Amino acid sequence: MIRFKQFHDPKLSIWQSAVDEVAAAVGGARAITGRPDIPHPMSAEAVAYGNQVQSGLSVQAATAAHPATEGLLRTAGFCSLTGLKLAKSLILCNESDTENYKDELAKFGDCDPLYAEAAAKYAEYFVAQQKQIPYIVYKNLGDFVIDGPQKLPAKATVAVVGDWGTGQYAAKSVLKQIAGKHPDVVIHLGDIYYAGTQFEVTHYFVQIWKQILNLGDKLDRIPTFTLAGNHDMYSGGVPYYQLIKQLGQPASYFCLRNANWQFVAMDTGYHDHNPAGGGEGATYLRETEVTWLADKVKNAGGRRTILLSHHQLFTAFDSIDGNEINMRLFPQVSPLLPDVSLWLWGHEHNFVMYDAYKGLARSCCMGHGAFPVGQDEVPARPKYPDVPLRKNSDGSDIRLGVTDGLYNHGYAIIELNGASGSVSYYQDSDEDTPMYTQSLT
């Protein structure tokens, strides 16, 4: 069975969004309740096509390597290729090619008629993606600061979850566990899959987020926030910015604080969005945001700082443009790291706690919020062993458990009480006992 999967190539993600949206319409009300764990055949074909493109193999070569998927790959190869050619002709307003590709799809009996609709949807999203992302630049350095006990009480429970926007059962289950801990604030570290379209934002984020967290009609019963992930920007970012407006979030970066603590969120998604660039390379902050960020950390007024971002600063198990450290982001933030108590990020679909490194006392990769990851997809040993991992008291690695061949999902609960604070990391297999708890003071 082909399960939910994303690709870092924005063009493939937009194609997945287009296919998934038209396939969802067939099921009518099913999209309102989330994305199914067993994908529609067209969505499965889109994943198969993405696997084929990512491998660099032809349809024939990929079929030879995986004979069990022969029929699916051949269908995915022809239908997706022809659908994308049709989309290109629509973008270029080439009426002759448009009719030819429609005829090709119709003549190949294994292609669902909805591929023509998916092509039109892809063209719509691709064109939207080429427009300027509606990033918001502050007018004064004091902008985007959210202050006061109504937003962040002196004694507060703050839940943080990353890469949560799949719309699947696992996402709902994790959010129900978070809701059961009665948080005062909930923060999502970004990524609504596949490409942050309005359909996905509505059906795979807002409806579930609102219902399970009991946010009320205005989505304001408790403060909730969502950061800008790369997938949130793939369709142009407009749905994301409409979403944060609904949530009452002032921008894609912000500072939530009380008298003793501040959560400073960054926008690392802006520079990881362009289909023309293929989604590769190390992301970084806009220079205006670097200035804003430095002001918040260096002028914290005695507050301790918790940084939040979608992308990782460094990694032990993955790679950032061929390095263990983001060589573009690090120079922007390195002067601030000694003043940071904790940095939480997502993007990499893993749970990794880090010891002190490069001036940063504590950090954790939390990209395990809901995305399905197979046991064989994460290496047993770090790719970069010099990046220090936090260990259990017995010296063993802190690793997620496995259920039915997939790594467990999870989230963090930060408890603040005046000037003291702690963070506990939970996996969804045990909502009562954290995997690890550490003091932040």
Q: Classify burial at 423, counting beta carbons within 10 Å of its beta carbon; exposed 0-12, middle 13-18, buried 19 or more.
A: buried
Least confident of 126-135, 210-219, 262-271, 299-308: 126-135
Q: What percent of the chain has pLDDT over 90?
A: 66
**Signed CA dihedral, 278, 281, 287, 291: sign only:** positive
Q: How confident is the model at residue 279 (pLDDT cuts 50, 70, 90)?
A: very low
Residues composing the chain:
441
Between 263 and 277, the higher pLDDT residue:
263
- For the chain, which domains are there? 10-129 (no CATH), 145-439 (3.60.21.10)
* pLDDT digit string, tens, across residues 295-342: 999 999 999 999 999 999 999 999 999 999 999 999 999 999 999 999
- Token duo for residue 77: 């190869």
**Of 106 and 191, more confident:** 191
pLDDT digits (tens, 9 = 90+) for 379-438: 989 999 999 999 998 999 899 999 999 999 999 999 999 999 999 999 999 999 999 999
Instruction: State how far the Cα of 337 lies from the Cα of 282, in Å rounded to an integer.
Output: 19
Helices (H) and strands (E) in the chain, counts: 13, 15
Which of these ranges, 44-53, 151-160, 368-377, 383-392, has the smallest mean pLDDT? 44-53
Over residues 35-71, the pLDDT tens digits come to 888 888 888 878 877 877 777 765 445 434 433 334 4
- Long-range contacts from 22-28, C-beta under 8 angstroms, 24+ separation: 22/114, 22/117, 22/118, 22/121, 23/114, 24/199, 24/203, 26/114
Note whether 115 and 42 are within 8 A (CB): yes
Question: How far apart, in whole angstroms, are the C-alpha atoms of residue 139 and residue 123?
Answer: 35
pLDDT at 288: 98
Is the four-CA dihedral 142, 148, 153, 159 of positive or negative sign?
negative
On the 0-12 / 13-18 / 19+ scale of CB atoms within 10 A, 426 is buried
Task: Let me know: does 375 contact 412? Beta carbons within 8 Å.
Answer: no
Q: Which token pair is 341? A: 């108590």
Asked if pLDDT for residue 74 goes beyond 60, the answer is no
> Is residue 280 predicted with pLDDT exceeding 80?
no
